[in-house]
A and B are shown apart, each in its own frame.
Chain A
Amino acid sequence: MKLTVNGTNHEVDVDPNMPLLWVLRDELNIKGPKFGCGIAMCGACTVHLNGNPIRACSFPVSAATGEITTIEGVGTPNAMSAVQEAWVEHQVAQCGYCQSGQIMSATALLNNNPAPSDQDIDTAMSGNLCRCGTYPRIRAAIKTAAANIQASKATEIELGADAPEGV
């Protein structure tokens, strides 16, 4: 079975019903996506399939056709995305276990909606549990990221550069 994760092609030999999460974690050693519940109730495993957030714990690998992006594909410690930068600026993480999933949901939100309202944030983020209760800082970080993305786009338009795709 073939799949593409963060731009890299992989070939795996697994049960086609195996959830994508366990292919990523135990077969490909991509461990940013976390196991929380196994029934799509907590969002810790959130990754993108063709840009859309999915719960990898409940998504059979055989259906994962297209571009899979995990937190590792969004940014790295030395080259963080705008959303990750905002997460650091607001010191969002406590235990941090849910934050890969939170960042993936927030990234998808901002890709589709560059200026989300509180209501939009509630709708997009309520599938991601955080037992440490970091929600107020997540909300603030999403707003900071949105503003920073808008500002950098505005600067680039002024400079006549192409706006970057996504965040």
Chain B
Amino acid sequence: MGKLATITRRTFLLGAVAITGGVVFGYWKYKQPYGNPLQKDLDDGEAALTPYVLIDQDGITIIAPRAEMGQGIHTTLAALVAEELDVSLEQVKVIHGPASNAYFNAAGFEEAIPFAAIDESSMAERARNFTRIPAKFLGMQLTGGSSSTPDAFEKMRMAGAAARESLLQAAAQKLGVQATSLSTHAGKVLTASGDSFDYTELAEAAALIEPSAEPTLKSQANWKVLGKSQARVDVIPKSTGTAEFGVDVTLPGMLFATVRVNPNLLNPMNAYDASKAESMRGVEKIIEIENGVAVVATNSWYAFQAAKAIEFDWQPANYPKTTSELRQIVVDSFAAGADSKHRDDGDVDAALNGAEIISGEYEVPYLAHATMEPMNATAWMRDGMIEIWAGNQLPTQIVKEAERITGLPEDAITVHTPYMGGGFGRRAELDFAKQAIEIANAMPGTPVKMTWTREEDTCHDYYRPLALAKFKAVMGDTEPTAIDLELAAPSVASSQFGRLGVPAAGPDIFIVQAAWDQPYGVENYRVRGYKADTVFPVSSWRSVGASQNAFFHESMMDELAAAKSLDPLQMRLNLITHEPSRKVIEAVGELSNWGAELPAGHGRGIAFCLSFGVPTAQVIEVAEQDGKIKILNAYIAADVGTALDPRNVEAQLSGGMHYGLAAAMMGEITITDGKVDQTNFHNYNSIRMNQSPNVEVAILENGDRIRGVGEPGTPPAAPALANAIYAATGKRIRRLPLNKEVSFV
């Protein structure tokens, strides 16, 4: 890391860069004819170069500039480079690397446009390409939106290929032969006569060679690493307690801190009395920070104890103070007129008029992210510089916050992104990093690690919004002939993007995400979104709007099938208009032996959701045992276009489903007197081993392009489970969490 820290932002732009005895290779060609802000330091030409490969005498390091929060992205991104560089993953070291706008995520905003992910029309493509402009100008090094793999798929292979070609050139010059007479294997350049040179010994010479502007990529048929399940680069550290998470950062002379900020979220503190805390054992300093106080001590636990002993006068909430009042705002938004109407096929009003109408109302609660690792960050201010360690999904924004808080220039700020104990969207918020910076700013010279208690974490989240849905539909003999779906929620886009200083223009697509764009052909089909005033802080929660809308849409589909005693899987096949989606539904049917008789008291439910471009179908089988629901089996089929690492794709689909099941079964955040009621895992619990089903996964690759899979496993879980409970018990549950109406084993 020390060596990398010496690479300045300017050198990122210059391609192959000589560093002490080594070389950094980067390659990324920007295809669109828009001005590239990254090129301002370059001569004419369209190539902007970013570093992904660092080679020196010590070995090969691949920079995987996305947050590793469990999704296996460091392994997959390293595999993209390794494939083209012709090295194995065992031969390389993989690091996140420094924060840089050069690592912006071009694909991170694609989900935010009013075109379906599977829409290949030229309009949709143009809109999609336009999202790359703000993505680039904002320069956000974002991990989220299941976008890391699609974003990197070409550019990181290019980086590997360009580096390999330069190494071949370097060897050719050294030997006085044509590069075409040389080959590579496992980190070596080989000559026709059988001599070999390690990449590491060629690095210095390769640094002087201009990297190829058009490196040739391997054809998929020749892949040796990609498409095959890899051992995760972090699996041994994470199985031996040696992986360094943010909370494990240790620095010389470091002190330990915690914070307490106003539980009336984002509201100020009026006053506090720390007279008791000040004299408690281990306490070194008490610092006023935004909306609260930090306690710095010689041990985290001393800080926790002292923080508990502080008395606060909090300013009351400036928003409605109870769940029911906050809910009423969402209810009222239906009357205020639609925010979006991205789907309006046929004539829904005419089709509903005078017909026999099936209707229902649905609801989901606020949810916390509840990562296993509580929010934490470490910062160290010294010699006119600040270094920050924070498990985070937006390092470039932390740089901006550090500039604002400390007044230091950008090049005096270093952000490290260690492993994170879960993210799920929570670590795209900046509050915890800002607090560590505030503390460091008040204690120059002393590194301080700030760790939240679980209570602080549960009560100071930015939550998945409470959301409501209403549907009216008309059934034909084999499928619905009209669907009118109305969805209301506070706006994640305005809440989250507002905090980032990014204007959220136009309708909020997340309110209707994965509802308006589903590949069902229904003659009269309308999906409208209603934007409720966003008064309570909400944010992206794994799969964002799809997390609630799949429950609404797919429970509705189940109700419609049941109304005519139709097979819900077959009814979906009757409606489906997208071939890869059809195959996913067929695959989950086969995997689950759909249609085979089940023992009495058992039930199967199916749900389908296309989110982040990934059609995903799940079948869940439950049994009623002594009046309790036991989740026995779960079957998942999904199409990711190209599965770069099948075993990891399976892990993400299964894990994503578990995350959705936990929320569906028992997840609920409520608010009383302005404050969140839940505090810890005893009253905000999660799925546990004894509740986890057997899982089988089928991965399909019929989709038109490569997709990311961190989120798509989550949305179908809730409706598949609710539909299974209906099949087993006849009880239709329209409000989450399900444990308000049934008990689980």
Residues of A within 8 A of B (CB): 14-15, 18-19, 22, 25-27, 29, 31-39, 41-42, 44, 70-72, 75-77, 80, 84, 87-88, 91-100, 103, 121-123, 125-139
Contact = CB atoms under 8 A, between A and B. Distances in A.
Nearest to B655: A133
Contacts of B10: none
Contact of A95 (B422, B661, B681, B694): B422
Contact of A131 (B71, B240, B422): B422
A37 B371 CA distance: 11
Interface in B327-386: 370-374
B71 A94 contact: yes
Query: Which residue of A18, A132, A133 has the most chain B CB atoms within 10 A of its CB atom?
Result: A133
B234 A131 contact: no
Contact of A22 (B239, B299, B424, B682): B299
B300 A32 contact: no
A139 B689 contact: yes
A135 B685 CA distance: 16
B321 interface: no
Interface string B225-252: 0000101101111111111110110100
Question: A37, A92, A139 — which one has the most chain B CB atoms within 10 A of its CB?
Answer: A37
A8 B89 CA distance: 36
A132 B659 CA distance: 7
A103 B236 CA distance: 13
A79 to B, nearest CB: 9
A64 to B, nearest CB: 14
A38 B454 contact: yes
Contact of B651 (A26, A71, A91): A91
A102 to B, nearest CB: 9
19 contacts: A18-B302, A19-B301, A22-B301, A77-B242, A91-B648, A93-B70, A94-B652, A94-B655, A129-B688, A130-B372, A131-B371, A131-B662, A132-B659, A133-B654, A133-B687, A135-B658, A135-B692, A136-B695, A138-B689
Contact of B236 (A80, A127, A129, A139): A80
Is the contact region of chain B dominated by helix, strand, or loop, or is it mixed? Answer: loop
Given A96-B421, A97-B421, A128-B689, A41 B300 contact: no
A7 to B, nearest CB: 16
A38 B453 contact: yes
B232 A91 contact: yes
Contacts of A98: 372, 421
A9 B370 CA distance: 36
A55 to B, nearest CB: 12
Contacts of A127: 688
A95 B692 contact: no
B240 A18 contact: no
A138 B658 CA distance: 14
* Pairs of residues from A and B, 6 with the lowest C-beta to C-beta distance, nearest first: A133-B658, A32-B241, A97-B421, A96-B238, A95-B70, A71-B241
B241 A132 contact: no
A34 B244 CA distance: 11
B70 A94 contact: yes
Of B70, B300, B689, B693, chain A has the most CB atoms within 10 Å of the CB of B689
B564 interface: no
Given A39-B681, A96-B245, A132-B655, 12 more contacts: A34-B247, A35-B451, A36-B373, A72-B242, A91-B235, A98-B372, A99-B239, A125-B690, A132-B658, A136-B693, A136-B695, A137-B651
Given A22-B300, A26-B300, A36-B454, A136 B240 contact: no
Interface string B396-426: 0000000000000000000000011111100
A142 B613 CA distance: 35
Nearest to B634: A136
B395 interface: no
Contacts of B648: 91
A121 B690 CA distance: 8
A interface SS class: loop
B191 interface: no
A138 B238 CA distance: 13
Interface string B650-691: 011011111101100000000000000000111001111110
Contacts of A137: 651
Interface string B684-718: 01111110111100000000000000000000000
Contacts of B244: 31
B454 A39 contact: yes
B736 interface: no
Contacts of B234: 93, 96
A164 to B, nearest CB: 19
A161 to B, nearest CB: 26
B689 A131 contact: no
Nearest to B249: A31
A158 to B, nearest CB: 29
Given A26-B299, A26-B301, A131-B659, A96 B454 contact: no
B647 interface: yes
A103 B682 contact: no
Contacts of B299: 14, 18, 22, 26-27
A103 B241 CA distance: 10
Chain A CB within 10 Å, residue with most, of B298, B454, B662:
B454
A100 B241 contact: yes
Contacts of A35: 247, 300, 374, 451
Nearest to B244: A31
B451 A80 contact: no
Contacts of A128: 688-689
A130 B706 CA distance: 28
Contacts of A132: 70, 372, 422, 655, 658-659
Nearest to B301: A22
Contacts of B587: none
B588 interface: no
B167 interface: no
A18 B689 contact: no
Contacts of B454: 36-39
Contacts of B71: 94
Max chain B Cβ within 10 angstroms of own Cβ: one of A126, A132, A135 = A132
Contacts of A25: 300
Contacts of A123: 690
Contacts of B236: 77, 80, 88
Nearest to B371: A131
Interface in B289-327: 298-302, 304
Residue among B236, B248, B685 with max Cβ neighbours from chain A (10 Å): B236
Given A14-B299, A19-B301, A34-B421, A42 B658 contact: no
B241 A72 contact: yes
A44 B248 CA distance: 14
Nearest to A121: B689
A94 B648 CA distance: 9
Contacts of B304: 38
